[in-house]
Structure 1
Amino acid sequence: MKISVNIEHTTPLFTQLTEQIKEAVLAGELVAGDALPSIRQLANDLDINHKTVAKAYRLLERDGVIQTKGYRGTFIHLNAKENSVIDLNEWVLEELDKVLSSFRSAGVTESEMRIAFNSLLNNRHK
């Protein structure tokens, strides 16, 4: 599998990486158990910051597409194909849209929503 990034593209580099790996899994180019390059190796190969690759790998691991096995490396997860079709960001947007719509219907202002949301994110609501 060939991974490449376009630094001129508006899509963030870590997103380009996650999308390409998920697409390769769905296309059968990467299957369960296949090893991926180390973060450092992939960053060097693509000439990008290793933190960008690390972020992409963290998101892929969170989504169950890859799994890191300590010093042994990073591998395609057993359920990667099923998990590659799930877009957690899209789901969050859909769920928030439902909640925001109900708040708007109740007359809650955007300012009140922002204050409440920030309060919850910062664990200040008890």
Structure 2
Amino acid sequence: MNIEIDLDDPKPIFAQLIEQIKQAVANDKIAPNDPLPSIRQLANDLEVNSKTISKAYKLLERDAVIQSKGYRGTFVHPDAKANCQIDLKEWVTSQFEELITRLKEAGVTDSEMRLTFNDVLTNN
């Protein structure tokens, strides 16, 4: 698997990494249970901050595209091919759009929504 980061791309580096790993899975360039480079190794290879790689790996793990096996390393999840087709951001956006439409129909102002959202987010 060859990962290339484009520093001129407006897309954040972690998003480029996620996209390329998902494409590699979808195109069978990496298979379930294949090992991935460590965070430190990939950060060194790509010459980016290890926190950027860590963020991408955490999001890929959340989406069950990769899995961490502790000290043994990080591997492609057995169900990665199916899971890499899921776009969580798209789903979250549609959920918010539906909720905001209902709230506006009920007469709730943008300010009230923002304040309430911040309160709920802070308290959960």
TM superposition score category, shorter chain reference: over 0.9
Q: Which residue number in structure 1 is paired with residue 109 of structure 2?
A: 109
Q: Secondary structure at the match of 1:67?
A: strand
Q: Secondary structure at the match of 2:75?
A: strand
1:7 deviates by 1.2
Q: Which residue number in structure 2 is paired with residue 23 of structure 1?
A: 23
The one-letter amino acid of 2:17's match is L
The percent of aligned pairs where both chains have the same amino acid is: 54
Q: Which residue number in structure 2 is paired with residue 82 of structure 1?
A: 82
Q: Which residue number in structure 1 is paired with residue 5 of structure 2?
A: 5
> What's the TM-score, normalizing by structure 1?
0.96
The one-letter amino acid of 1:119's match is D
The one-letter amino acid of 2:45's match is D
Residue deviations 1:88-122 (CA, integer Å, cap 9, x gap)? 11110000000000011111100000011001000
The one-letter amino acid of 1:42's match is L
> What's the TM-score, normalizing by structure 2?
0.98
Q: Which residue number in structure 1 is paired with residue 63 of structure 2?
A: 63
Q: Which runs of 5+ in 1 are unaligned?
A: none
Q: Which runs of 5+ in 2 are unaligned?
A: none
Q: Distance in 2 between matches of 1:43 and 1:75?
A: 17
1:51 deviates by 0.4
The one-letter amino acid of 2:50's match is H
Moved over 2 A (4+): none
